[in-house]
């Protein structure tokens, strides 16, 4: 009985520790695409639309969040191990896992370090394959990463960024392999309590 109780407590402690190591930031999405049905009509994809494609309905006051485990050093390349989360008024509605349903990949980066920040210019890829949305987007990103602790927490695993991207997107029942371009912007990361 004691061994079972200790095992459960250790599992809970490990889960809390893993959960507490995430950096969370809100994503803004602003994409313009062009239908491939012969009409060439323009359409827009925002964070609100992405949430609707994931959930299947409109989510009032919904937020699209990028969740990144700490430990991604500034200037690193490869899979950044980030995943997406949909929230509503502080309640988690859904998580879109990495790397099978969402992947934020950094191909290359150039960094400049100042006393309190790292400025990173990178090529990033955003791959989404979940529910009604399937997209392969790539572009130039500018990251601003704090090197000083915030409230005693190291936030260097992520930073604010603006990505100017292009690629293709399929929205089931609406368009296939449409060319899209626009921006993805991430707010300042916050340490997940």
Q: 84 and 96 in contact (C-beta within 8 Å)?
A: yes
**pLDDT confidence tier of residue 26, bands split at 50, 70 and 90:** very high
Is 105 or 6 the better-scoring residue by pLDDT? 105
DSSP assignment of 145-186, as one string? EE-S-BTTB--TT--EEEEEEEEEEEETTTEEEEEEEEEEEE
Kindly report, residue by residue over 30-61, the tens digit of the pLDDT: 999 999 999 999 999 999 999 999 999 999 99
Residues 6+ apart with CB under 8 A from 118: 74, 75, 111, 112, 143, 144, 145, 147, 156, 159
User: How much is the pLDDT for 5?
Assistant: 36
The tokens for 111 are: 């960094």
Inform me whether the pLDDT recorded for 86 exceeds 50: yes
* Predicted model pTM: 0.86
How far is Cα 65 from Cα 24, in angstroms, rounded to an integer?
A: 7
Inform me whether the pLDDT recorded for 101 exceeds 60: yes
Burial of 172 (0-12, 13-18, 19+ CB in 10 A): exposed
To which residue do tokens 């062009």 refer? 34
| Domain ranges across the chain | 21-191
Radius of gyration of the chain (CA): 18
Residue 37, CA distances (Å) to 34, 167, 182 in order: 9, 17, 21
Element containing residue 117 per DSSP (H, E): strand 117-130
The tokens for 1 are: 């009985």
Kindly report, residue by residue over 58-83, the tens digit of the pLDDT: 999 999 999 998 777 788 899 999 99
Q: 162 and 182 in contact (C-beta within 8 Å)?
A: no
To which residue do tokens 């626009």 refer? 182
How far is Cα 70 from Cα 36, in angstroms, rounded to an integer?
A: 40
Kindly report, residue by residue over 106-153, the tens digit of the pLDDT: 999 999 998 889 999 999 999 999 999 999 999 999 999 988 887 777
User: How much is the pLDDT for 154?
Assistant: 76
User: How much is the pLDDT for 113?
Assistant: 93
């Amino acid at each position: 009985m004691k061994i079972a109780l200790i095992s459960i407590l250790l599992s809970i402690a490990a889960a809390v520790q893993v959960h507490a190591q995430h950096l969370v930031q809100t994503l803004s999405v602003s994409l313009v695409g062009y239908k491939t049905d012969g009409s060439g009509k323009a359409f827009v994809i925002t964070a609100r639309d992405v949430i609707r494609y994931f959930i299947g309905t409109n989510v009032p006051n919904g937020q699209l969040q990028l969740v990144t485990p700490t430990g991604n050093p500034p200037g690193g390349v490869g899979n950044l191990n980030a995943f997406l989360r949909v929230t509503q008024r502080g309640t988690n509605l859904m998580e879109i896992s990495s790397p099978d349903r969402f992947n934020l990949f950094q191909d290359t980066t150039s960094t400049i370090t100042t006393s309190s920040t790292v400025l990173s210019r990178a090529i990033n890829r955003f791959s989404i394959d979940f529910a009604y949305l399937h997209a392969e987007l790539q572009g130039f990103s500018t990251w601003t990463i704090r090197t000083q602790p915030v409230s005693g927490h190291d936030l260097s695993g992520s930073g604010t960024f603006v990505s100017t991207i292009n690629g293709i997107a399929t929205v089931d029942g609406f368009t296939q392999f449409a060319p899209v371009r626009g921006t993805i912007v991430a707010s300042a990361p916050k340490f997940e309590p």
